[in-house]
Chains A and B, each alone.
Chain A
Amino acid sequence: MANLLIQVKQLKKSYRLGKVIVEALRGVSFEINQGDFVSIMGPSGSGKSTLMHILGCLDYPTEGKYFLSSQEVTQLNDSQLALFRNQKIGFVFQQFNLLPRLTILRNVELPLTYNKVSPPNKRELAIQALEQVGLGDRLQHKPNEISGGERQRVAIARALINHPSLILADEPTGNLDSKTGQDIMQMIDKLHKEGNAIVLVTHEVEIARYAKRVIHLKDGLIERDEVIA
């Protein structure tokens, strides 16, 4: 198991809302190898986003263990988590989550500015990343001046810039029409082919089919772990 990337063991996450305790994850275990492309499906409220947040080192599980690149994430403190997010993880969100006041170039540069040592050639690296997603000519535009599909491509460029070990995409096509969604998926598929590990949350079967493996969640538990030929 030399190329094991992710290992989660009996992950549980519960939220307390007043007296009620909501169990979003109730014991989830799986492994993902480097370079894998995994989709996570499940009905609304089944805990997909909660799982993604834990995988993305944005949140701690209530119980269970999470290893990323054989580091036990559950034992890291806040700033070590931040460094992990910066170095090992690239996020693509449903709502794009670009900063509206910054140009798309500055948006893509953002992760580099939070590196331990931020590289002097931030700008060139960001331009390269934007060229990679076909937006090399829109550098100085603001997010509200480009289309939804283009915004998501900016987000992908931003996710790629630090060469993360893992790209997490939570319904990346959820806010896009199906044609644009397909374009984005093709781009993600290309990243997979280039060797990036990808975990994708989606509602749509056609989108999930880009992956080699689909984990079905239901009520905070894995219902089915299906490998697609």
Chain B
Amino acid sequence: MILQSLQIALESLWANKVRSFLSMLGIIIGVGAVIAIVSVGSGSSQQVTSSITNLGSNMITIYPRVARGQGGRIVGENPQEKFSIELAAYMEKFCPSVTQVIPVKQVSGRLIAGDINVNATVVGTEPEYTAVNNYEVEKGSFISNNDNQERNQVIVLGSQLAEDLFEGENPLGKRIKLSYGGQSYLFEVKGVMKEKGGSLSGNLDNQAYLPLAVSLDILTNSDYVSSYIAQAASSEKAATAVSELNNFMAKVLDDENQEQFQLMSQDEILDTVSSVTATMSIMLGGIAAISLLVGGIGIMNIMLVSVTERTREIGVRKALGARNTHILFQFLMESLSLSSIGGILGIIFGWITAYFISQVGNWPLVVAPLSVGLAFGFALCIGIFFGLYPAMKAAKMNPVDALRYE
């Protein structure tokens, strides 16, 4: 009986192709929207998450806040002038959830190799920088403790920078010039880093790395670093580490209101991102669900028209021996076919949309089977729910009245 009702249903839908398609449109758009939205949501958050994780493991960055000035003069103390190298060691000591703290001094300079020159961020740092950043060496080696002690004028290049400066040649052992603050300094290339890609603090591949001591004593002649990079013992301890560091800095800088420094942690960013994407998903999912609902009402509307239009057909079928359940199934199958065909078209439509958006947004195409199943199942339920009333109306029709209907 089901198969037979299905055949009748498909025939009658086919007889009114345009109308059937139009009444499916709501479902198509609804299902498509659900799939596209969920896919875009998870694709983009996967991209953001991976780029944040890419930053390093359980990283917390500590910056000085920009000093407030008045009429060209800095008012009060410059917070920058409290960020000393020694502070890093104290942090390690007084914050038990922090495994290590690396001071960083970065400047913008111009690197010159032969007749090629490139503007780049030059980061003065210590050997542990690579571990904290999940950063690996491709060729040669990274800055060593010895380089820092000896103030060796060696430089390690990010992958893109190496490519830009040496265009495929092996840069190891080559000499390059760094022009900074009107002076030129000669460096020997000690290593080239593996490709890492973008991260929240910029593209590591476009940076160069020097011994911290060189950056402080030779380039800038300064006692203060630009920031610290701290690593929490584990991702569970990240939150504790953040509060320990906050307390520590507030005490040391005598800055209860945290006006002079700022912490940025990877987990915090991840949390924010995932809560933002979750809210977005719920909101957009709600909109999609409403459009599915509207689609269902559209189907009900068309089914009611169809039942009225075919009153006489119902009468004839009943006269020939169709039971109420036959008629019920016939019309239920029709609305179910509408919603399931609409659902399938919606899946295709949503998939294609998600694909194009992922191409534009440059993130992976993630279509969760769960969202497909859920959207399709919801569409079917809507087909049954909104088809039931018209189908029952058809089934209950009195055959004599139906036969008399003009």
Chain A contact residues, CB within 8 Å of chain B: 53, 56, 58-59, 78-79, 82-83, 85-87, 91, 93, 97-99, 101-102, 110-111, 113-115, 118, 158, 162
Contacts and interface: CB of A to CB of B under 8 A. Distances in A.
B65 interface: no
B400 A78 contact: no
14 contacts: A59-B400, A79-B324, A82-B321, A83-B321, A83-B323, A85-B320, A93-B403, A97-B312, A99-B316, A101-B11, A101-B12, A101-B15, A110-B320, A114-B317
A14 B274 CA distance: 71
Interface of B: 4, 11-12, 15, 312-313, 315-326, 398-400, 403
B400 to A, nearest CB: 5
Contact of A58 (B312, B313, B325, B400): B400
Nearest to B325: A79
B4 to A, nearest CB: 6
A97 B320 CA distance: 11
Contacts of B316: 97-99
B323 A114 contact: yes
A158 B321 contact: no
A114 B11 contact: no
Given A101-B12, A113-B4, A87 B321 contact: yes
A85 B319 contact: yes
Contacts of B4: 113, 118
A82 B323 contact: yes
B403 A110 contact: no
User: Which 9 A-B residue pairings sit nearest by Cβ, starting from the closest?
Assistant: A86-B321, A114-B321, A82-B323, A111-B320, A79-B323, A58-B399, A97-B316, A59-B400, A85-B321
Query: By CB atoms of chain B within 10 A, which of A98, A113, A115 has the most?
Result: A113
Contacts of A113: 4
A101 B316 CA distance: 13
Given A82-B323, A114-B326, A99 B313 contact: yes
Contacts of B324: 78-79, 82
A106 to B, nearest CB: 9
B403 A58 contact: yes
B400 A53 contact: yes
A114 B330 CA distance: 12
B319 A56 contact: yes
B320 A91 contact: yes
Given A78-B323, A79-B323, A101-B15, A85 B400 contact: no
A202 B113 CA distance: 111
B44 to A, nearest CB: 48
A86 B399 contact: no
A93 B325 CA distance: 24
B318 A82 contact: yes
B358 to A, nearest CB: 44
Query: By CB atoms of chain A within 10 A, which of B317, B321, B324 has the most?
Result: B321
Contacts of A82: 318, 321-324
